Structure formats: C-alpha cells, structure tokens
Amino acid sequence: MSEVCKRSNGLLMTNMATCTQQSESTNRFFKQSGQSMVEYLIILPTLLMLTLGAIQFGLLYQIKSQVNYAAFAAARQGALSNGSATSIKDAFGAAMTPLFTNQPNFSGIMRGRAIGAIEAFNPLVTKIERISPPDTVKNDFGIQNPSDANSWIVPNDNLQYRPTTLGSSSSLNIQDANILKIRVTYCAKLIVPLANVAIYSLVNGIQGAKNLTGEFFSTPQNFATTPNSCSTLQDQYGATLDKVSDAAGVVGLDLGPIQSLLSTVSGALQNATVPGLNWVIGGYRIPVTSEAVVRMQTPMKFPK
C-alpha cells in the first residue's frame, strides 16, 4: 500500500478500495518498467545497420558521381592525345583527386593526386576499356604515321567531305571511326564498418552472406558464389581452386599449400598500405561503371 494510503488523514484514507487500486497500479508499473529497454535492444542491430548502410550508400553515390566526371575527363584527354591509354588513365586519376583529398591545403591535394594516380594505374582497381573505335579501323582507314614509322593513324581532318562508306573490317565509316568511347570500371572502396561487409557480401552472392554470419550453414564455403573483378582473390579463384583440388584429390595430389598461399596473398593485398600516404590499397570493394563518348580532336594512333 502506498504512503498516501498509510496516512491516518481522513481526507486521504476515506476509501480503502481506492488505496488497493493504487497499490495494484504501482506494482504493474514496476513489473513493466524494463520493457522499453528490452524492445530497444531488440531493434538496435537493425536500426544500426540501416543507419550505417545509409551512410555507405551516400558515399557510394559520391564515388559514382566522381567516376562519371572522371570518365569524361579521361575520354577528353584521350581525344587530345591520339587515344593514348596512358594519357587516359592519368586524366582519370587526376579527375579522381577530390575524392582522396582529405585536407584543404597543398599537401592534401598532392596526397589526393598521388592516390588518384595509384588507383587509376592499378589493374586490380581500375579497368578502362576502349569500346570504340576498334582496332580493326586501322585496316579500313589507317595510313602511315608521318612522325612514327611504327604506327598507323586514322585521319580526322575534313570529315564532312570524306566518304561515308563503311569499312569491311570495322563496319564503321571514317566519321564514326573518329568517335572515342570508353568504359571505366572502378572498384569503389566500402569504408563504413559492418555495412561494408554486408554490402560486399550481398554483391558477391549468398555465400558471402554465409561468411558474414559466421558460416552457420550446413555446407559453408570460403568463397563467394558470384565474384566480380573487384572481389578478393580468395573470392575470385576460391571456387575454381576447390574444384581443381577435388579433382587432384582423386589422384592423390594435395593442393592445400596452394590454397593457403592464395589466402595469404589475398590477405596481404587486402591490408597493403602505400608508404607515406596512409592509403590501404585493398579493402572491401564493389564495381562502379561509367561510360563517356567524345569526338577525336587528334588522329587515332594504332601500333603496326
């Protein structure tokens, strides 16, 4: 019974039924006082994952926007430099500099430029393909390069007056042969804790989700079911190596050391850091693709 009901004051102690009801309400309150805490603990993991996931997807949108711009800048530089692959990669790295600049000063800009170049020229991170023109246009329209005897060029002057007939090898006319189209596939790094592993696992298939949950499944594996070019080496080649290992086991060969080496190399690449830049080359990554189309401003060059 509450203190109010224990008092002998006639104004407060006039109805015993009222005091009994107050005591029952007080007991129910104390019994249910921890309910909200339990409910919060149940919903906290989901709420945390949604929050971290939203942050990571926001960063991915920023990377996608930067890759779109960098792809156009790379194509533009290629159009001005005879379609040089080196110039295209260098321009892509330069355009990605803002993404890696962490301080608004000269040293921060130089760090971002260096990381951008490393990312652009790393074949495990960035893949730049020339979709058009194909190499076969040199068979249709190529002429000897006057400044280099070891290369052909496709003329790009007075295109409005040149014939529009299609070449037999490329099925393009000379006007279309002077349109440069590239496709950039960049491995965007996932940096938000928990969300990076979850998104990487979803992109690489349900097997990655099994690994994420601690492999509490009947047939767990150590590799992804749908790996891509940005997956870890273990995910890219793990399935193939397991199949080869099973076949080798039939004849009594043990490929365990090779599997162990693959895991070691994959782990080393995941944690490799560029000295002086504090930049981890590896990490969890997923592919981001962009395309750009520009007209050639210089003759396209092809080696003989």
- The per-residue pLDDT for range 149-202, each reduced to its tens digit, is 889 999 999 999 999 999 999 999 999 999 999 999 999 999 999 899 889 888
Looking at residue 123, its pLDDT comes to 93
Characterize the bridge pairing of strands 285-295 and 179-189. antiparallel
Q: Which of 158, 174, 192, 200 lies closest to 285, judged by CA?
A: 200
- Residue 157 DSSP one-character state: S
> Strands 279-280 and 273-274, how do they pair?
antiparallel
Residues 197 and 184 in one domain: no
> CA 107, CA 104: separation in Å to the nearest integer?
8
Domain containing 238 equals: 191-283
Are 86 and 175 in a shared domain?
yes
The model's pTM: 0.79
**Considering only CA atoms, which of 132, 129, 126, 133 is closest in space to residue 99?**
126
Instruction: For residues 220-230, give the mean pLDDT.
Output: 74
Q: Of 22, 82, 50, whose CA–CA distance to 300 is shortest?
A: 82
Residues 215 and 197 both lie in one domain: yes
Tell me, yes or no, whether 146 and 270 share the same domain. no
pLDDT in tens, 248-278: 676 667 767 777 777 787 777 777 888 888 8
* Residues above pLDDT 70, as percent of the chain: 79
Task: Compare 239 and 54 and report the one with higher pLDDT.
Answer: 54
How far is CA 88 from its chain centroid?
21
pLDDT grade for 221, boundaries at 50, 70 and 90: low
Instruction: Say yes or no: 208 and 278 in one domain.
Output: yes
Q: State yes or no: pLDDT of 302 exceeds 80.
A: yes
* 267 dihedral zone (left: phi>0; alpha: psi -120 to 50; beta): alpha
**In this structure, are 275 and 202 located in the same domain?**
yes
Asked whether residue 255 is assigned to any structural domain, the reply reads yes
Q: What pLDDT shows up at residue 235?
A: 80
- Among 35-49, 239-253, 284-298, the range with the most confident prediction by mean pLDDT is 284-298
Cis link prior to 133 (omega < 30° from 0)?
yes
pLDDT digits (tens, 9 = 90+) for 109-141: 999 999 999 999 999 999 999 999 999 999 999
In a shared domain, residues 174 and 62: yes
- pLDDT at residue 1 above 80? no
- Would residue 275 count as lying in a domain? yes
Q: Report if residue 249 sits inside a domain.
A: yes
* Tally of domains within the chain: 2
C-alpha 32/C-alpha 271 separation (Å) is 49
Stretch 274-294: mean pLDDT: 91
Question: Do both 79 and 184 map to the same domain?
Answer: yes
Residue with tokens 């690489």: 204
Q: In this predicted model, which residue has the larger pLDDT, 241 or 159? A: 159
Does any domain span residue 8?
no
Mean confidence (pLDDT) of the chain: 83
More confident residue, 219 or 289: 289
pLDDT, tens digit (0-9, with 9 covering 90-100), for 90-109: 999 999 999 999 888 999 99
Whether residue 232 lies inside any domain: the answer is yes
pLDDT band at 300 (very low <50, low <70, confident <90, very high): very high
Based on the fold, state whether residues 66 and 202 are members of the same structural domain. Answer: no
Three-state secondary-structure class, residue 269: helix
In whole angstroms, give the CA distance from residue 177 to residue 257.
50
- The CA–CA distances, whole Å, from 251 to 210, 238, 246, 255, 280 equal 31, 20, 9, 12, 41
Asked whether residue 16 carries a pLDDT value surpassing 60, the answer given is no
- The answer on 168 and 224 residing in a single domain is no
Percent of the chain with pLDDT over 90: 51
pLDDT at residue 142 tops 60: yes
